[in-house]
Amino acid sequence: MSSPSPKSPEQSDKSKKYDRQLRLWGDHGQRLLENSKVCLINATALGTEILKSLVLPGIGSFTIVDGEKISEEDIGSNFFLENDSIGLSRAQVATQSLLELNPDVRGDYIDESPEHVMAHTQDFFNKFTVVIATALPEKRFSSDAKLVAVSVNDKSGVATLTLQRPPVNSLNLELLTDISSGLTEIEKAKCRGVILTSSAESVFSAGLDIFEVYKPNPERLNHFWKVLQDTWLKLYGFPYATVAVINGHAPAGGCLLALSCEYRIMSKNYTIGLNETQLGLVAPKWFIASMRNVIGQRQSELALTAGRLFKTDEALSLGLVDEVVDNKEEGISKAEQFLSRFRNIAPEVRGMTKQLVREDTIKDLMKTREQDLNTFVQYALNPKVQEYLEKYMQALKTKVLIPLSRHLWDAQVPLVVCRSIGFLGYIRLQVKEHTVIETHPDSENPDLRLDKPWPALKEHLDSINVATLDQKTRSHIPAIVILYYYLNKYKEFHDGNVPRTRAEKDVLRKMIRDSPIPDEHGVKVLEENFEEAIHYVNTCLNPQTIPSNVQTILDDDSCINLTQNSSPFWVMCAALRELVQSEGALPVSGSLPDMAADTNSYITLQQLYYKQAQLQAEAVFRRASQIARNLGLPQDIITESEVKLFCKHANELHLIRGCCIADEYERTSLDLTSYLEDPDSLMFYYITLRGLERFISEFNTYPGQFDDQVEPDVLKLKSIISKLLSEWNCSHALRDERVHEVCRYGGAELHSVSAILGGCAAHEVIKLITHQYKPLNNAFFYDAITSNSATFCL
Ligand SMILES: CCCCC/C=C/C(=O)SCCNC(=O)CCNC(=O)[C@H](O)C(C)(C)COP(=O)(O)OP(=O)(O)OC[C@H]1O[C@@H](n2cnc3c(N)ncnc32)[C@H](O)[C@@H]1OP(=O)(O)O
């Protein structure tokens, strides 16, 4: 722990207010805190406890993202919410209460679910210093890759357009845009025909992306619908032959895509249909026309009004699909056979004929496009429709942890994921790279360099002959001078070696202890400074080596191969590396411990250490500035004061390269054997939590949330956990009582557990923001029943 930073006699209000914490992280740490922007996802009891412990020490600002309304359960566990706030926005009320704690902190909220924010403004989270997420369920990973793949078979002249927007090809603005430009590309290539299919295993397309319509941004909503109209017009009126190979479910908008093609080949055991009414939605006229043109007025009316989804064989007998196949490959081959039927027909003739057949339907939409758009927008914004969509969304239950973790990993924004459930607490830190200069070790040996003093220090120390000093002077010289003197005496008798072993050190200690000269009463008394010198034998004679963690940093690729993206930390490391290479040691820290000595002798010595530290830091600064210049980095990227701090703490530099939560969730093997063999290991909580996440994803509730479902939930959770363990190739089973325990919690948060965990999580966030103290790496579990905790690197 660092010593208190010196204060001016008139402390500013701010330093009075934050006095105690300034002792921990200093003005520079406080400055980073005051400039930080923290995002909290979900204002649960735990979330608000974390923010409380960040607002009080004075973070710059916070933003709460939470689309939930306050429930009775919230009131039971969250001390920031009052009884009369039930039904109000949880984000808003929590923000107001938290802001009352510290007028220096700014705060705002977004009354939307994190899923919604993610779907509409992907980069929203990039602007934060840290994102904290509580009670956030996982989600399968969806990538930024191209959303459609177009390939052309040169031999047959047939193009394949494959939808590839995981997980279910739901039609959002970007996918529709890519389909449309894929079709343009194919049209330009004058292909003989197009096969429209999907890369997903069991879904052709899940229809319109509900996120485009639920709580929409009106501008984007307009644009979205126009692009949907365009895409349909393009596909429906496509001049070349079109076949849908429906290799999975095709509800609503997915069915529309298939209906827009001329021929449909569907794999067995899936469903297809315009099921809008089942969702409380009305399908637009051109959706209806697309179906009517395939199965006729009567069947369409029956299917549409009931919102029927037909199984593959039913769809075949209804004429909704033309052929049934066992799998996609067979579907593609059948599609090629269909397209080859037109081999002997002139493409223009074929195209014109298709145009004439479809002309009326196309013209209908062309004529009413604007009106159709307005109707849709008005309809979509209608509160009743939004209500339906909300219910529907809840049924689909989105999960965002995985995409959020992937997104923040790429954006290099730290993510802190926390969960408090019953007596169990969990904190998981995700940082791609985190560097710490001031680790504040609990105990630190003074950096005195007595084994290899630099010339100025040597000259000073050699100038004092301790053995010839009079009684008064002797008692005032600093312990270091005494230690150095007797160390040299020791070396004279030991071939120039410094003492290493305990026995050797005892010899040196004895030399110092036997040194007193008799006082005026003839009594030999060992002075305080000599006692100190004896004490320093243990801690100050270790040879100057570079700690292994620092050497690892200096040998790191980021230190050796700098780029324009290198952070100031790495530029300083590269400069430090050069100093180490030329001087064979790290720079002197420059601080001298307090010791019994007269002021002059102490200050002389202190100045020597201080000056050497300054000289070395200046050399590192010059080198770092040169490196930054060579890389074309801005001149002010590295300041002299930063370099001085860096050099002072060069022997405690700390680097964490973390692990992405999304990767962790997608891992297929996990060696848990050693943990599971230990009955006291808290690792079982990790397994239970992963099981819990899956349970929530699958059943949309917490296990044991409903009293009459506890026993069935125990069975379900057990089966989910054993599936997880077998996915990880782990042969151990989790003890039944663990599963029962989690089900007993029923997803409830206990305030006391959240308060403790909130304090711990806030500490970790402060470490991340200030880049001081070592943050945990990377998962922390807390068992409030036994008051045990454990950290694991997952
Ligand atoms: C306002 C007027 C508009 C009128 C016209 C409307 C047209 C439409 O197209 S509305 C959309 C109708 N779509 C559906 O009803 C399909 C809903 N989805 C499903 O039934 C299933 O997802 C499935 C059968 C297509 C696939 O099932 P499965 O393989 O089991 O996958 P999941 O259900 O677990 O879904 C995975 C993942 O995808 C999310 N999701 C599914 N459908 C949509 C969608 N249409 N929009 C957005 N997101 C969707 C689902 O929530 C899951 O997400 P995570 O839980 O986050 O993993």
Distance 127 CA to ligand 1 centre (A): 30
Among the residue ranges 81-95, 495-509, 601-615, 698-712, the one predicted with the least confidence is 698-712
- Residue 271: beta bridge partners? 311
Q: Which atom of ligand 1 is nearest to the CA of 385?
A: 1
| Nearest one of 286, 287, 279 to 255, comparing CA atoms | 287
**What mean pLDDT do residues 523-532 have?**
90
| Ligand 1 centre distance from Cα of residue 396 (Å) | 7
CB contact set of 575 (below 8 Å; sequence gap of 6+): 620, 621, 623, 624, 627, 643
Enumerate residues 6+ apart whose C-beta is below 8 A from 433: 412, 558, 655, 656, 657, 658
**How far is Cα 570 from Cα 556, in angstroms, rounded to an integer?**
9
Q: Which residues have C-beta atoms less than 6 Å from ligand 1?
A: 139-140, 167-168, 170, 202-203, 206-211, 213, 249, 251-253, 275-276, 279, 281, 283, 379-380, 385, 396-399
Q: What is the pLDDT of residue 65?
A: 96
Q: From the alpha carbon of 202, which atom of ligand 1 is closest?
A: 29
Distance 170 CA to ligand 1 centre (A): 7
Q: Could you tell me if 396 and 137 are in contact, meaning their C-beta atoms sit under 8 angstroms apart?
A: no
pLDDT number for residue 698: 64
Please compute the mean of the pLDDT values over residues 306-325 and round it to a whole number: 96
Is a pLDDT exceeding 80 seen at residue 11? no
pLDDT over threshold 60, residue 106: yes
Q: What is the pLDDT of residue 208?
A: 96
Residue 687: enclosing H or E segment and its boundaries? helix 683-699
CB 251 within 8 A of CB 309: yes
pLDDT at position 91 over 90: yes
Which residue's alpha carbon is nearest to atom 24 within ligand 1?
A: 249
Residue with the smallest CA separation from ligand 1 atom 33 is 396
Q: How far apart are CA 270 and CA 700, in angstroms?
A: 23
pLDDT, mean of residues 512-535:
88
Query: What is the pLDDT averaged over residues 252-278?
Result: 96
42 Cα–ligand 1 center, Å: 24
Distance 163 CA to ligand 1 centre (A): 15
Q: Which ligand 1 atom sits closest to the C-alpha of 380?
A: 1
Q: Which atom of ligand 1 is nearest to the CA of 278?
A: 15
Q: What is the distance in angstroms between the CA of the first residue and the CA of the last residue of the chain?
A: 28
Please give the mean pLDDT across all residues of the chain.
91
Report whether pLDDT(320) > 60: yes
State in Å: Cα 222 to ligand 1 middle: 21
What number of helices (H) and strands (E) belong to the chain? 33, 19
How large is the average pLDDT for residues 206-228? 92
Alpha carbons within 13 angstroms on the beta-carbon side of residue 70 total 22
- Buried-exposed string 583-593: b where 16+ CB fall within 10 A, e elsewhere: eebbbbbbebb
User: Going by CA atoms, what residue is nearest to atom 46 of ligand 1?
Assistant: 209
- Give me the mean pLDDT over the 659-677 stretch: 82
Q: For residue 330, name the pLDDT band (cuts at 50, 70, 90).
A: very high
Query: In the predicted model, what is the mean pLDDT of residues 191-205?
Result: 94
Classify the C-alpha dihedral 115-118-119-121 as positive or negative. positive
Catalytic annotation, residues? 208, 253, 275-276
Q: What does the DSSP 8-state code read for residue 522? A: S
Atom 25 of ligand 1, nearest CA residue:
206
Q: Whose CA is nearest to atom 42 of ligand 1?
A: 206
pLDDT(270) > 60: yes
For domain 148-396, the CATH architecture is Alpha-Beta Complex (3.90)
**Region 180-195: what's the mean pLDDT?**
93
Q: How far is the CA of 336 from the centre of ligand 1 (A)?
A: 30
Token pair of 741 as six digits: 């325990």
* Ligand 1 atom at minimal distance to the Cα of residue 398: 56
Region 752-759: what's the mean pLDDT? Answer: 97
CA angle 763, 769, 771 (to 5 degrees): 95
The pLDDT value given to residue 539: 87
| pLDDT recorded at residue 743 | 93
At 6 the pLDDT is: 45
Q: Are 294 and 318 in contact (CB under 8 A)?
A: no
Distance 272 CA to ligand 1 centre (A): 13
DSSP 242-272: EEEEE-SBEETHHHHHHHHSSEEEEETT-EE
Q: State the average pLDDT over residues 727-748.
A: 87
Residue 140 pLDDT exceeds 50:
no
- For 159-178, write each residue's pLDDT tens digit: 999 999 988 999 999 899 99
- Per-residue pLDDT tens for 626-640? 999 999 999 889 999
Residue 621, pLDDT above cutoff 70: yes
| pLDDT recorded at residue 730 | 83
> What's the pLDDT at 278?
84
Q: What is the pLDDT of residue 670?
A: 76
In this structure, the residue with its CA closest to atom 20 of ligand 1 is 206
pLDDT at residue number 138: 67
Give the pLDDT mean for 374-381.
94
Nearest-angstrom CA–CA distance, 78 and 63: 18
* From 36-45, 247-256, 317-326, 590-599, the region with the lowest mean pLDDT: 590-599
Of the two residues 666 and 486, the one the predictor is more confident about is: 486
pTM equals 0.69
DSSP E strands in 654-710: the ranges are: 654-657
Q: Are 248 and 200 in contact (CB under 8 A)?
A: yes
For atom 54 of ligand 1, which residue has the closest CA?
A: 398
- Residue-level pLDDT at 381: 93
Does 10 score more than 60 pLDDT? no
Nearest CA to ligand 1 atom 15: 251
Ligand 1 atom nearest the C-alpha of 211 is 47
**Two structure tokens written together for 390:** 């909300």
Instruction: Please check the confidence at residue 238 and state whether its pLDDT lies above 60.
Output: yes
Q: Are 583 and 452 in contact (CB under 8 A)?
A: no
Choosing from 168, 224, 374, 666 the residue with most ligand 1 atoms within 8 A of its CB, the one to mutate for a pocket test is 168
Mean pLDDT of 185-208: 93
CA of 267 to the centre of ligand 1 (A): 19
Strand partners, 791: 780
DSSP letters along 570-588, please?
A: HHHHHHHHHHHHHHSSPPP
How is residue 45 written in tokens?
């009891």
pLDDT of 143 reads: 41
Nearest atom, ligand 1, residue 279 CA: 15
Q: How far is the CA of 265 from the centre of ligand 1 (A)?
A: 22
Residue nearest to atom 44 of ligand 1 (CA): 209
Q: What's the rounded mean pLDDT across residues 678-687? A: 86
What confidence score (pLDDT) does residue 705 get?
Answer: 83
Q: Whose CA is nearest to atom 5 of ligand 1?
A: 283
Amino acid identity at 642: E
Site to probe by mutation for ligand 1, drawn from 198, 213, 396 as the one with most ligand atoms within 8 Å of Cβ, is 396
Q: Which atom of ligand 1 is nearest to the CA of 254?
A: 9
| Predicted confidence (pLDDT) at residue 1 exceeds the cutoff of 50 | no
**If pLDDT is split at 50, 70 and 90, which confidence band does 646 have?**
very high
Model confidence at 142, pLDDT cuts 50, 70, 90, reads very low
pLDDT exceeds cutoff 80 at 462 = yes
Q: How confident is the model at residue 444 (pLDDT cuts 50, 70, 90)?
A: confident
Which pLDDT does position 141 carry in this prediction?
Answer: 34
Which residue ranges does the chain devote to CATH 3.90.226.10? Answer: 148-396
Whether 145 has a pLDDT exceeding 60, the answer reads no
Which pLDDT score is estimated for 8?
Answer: 53
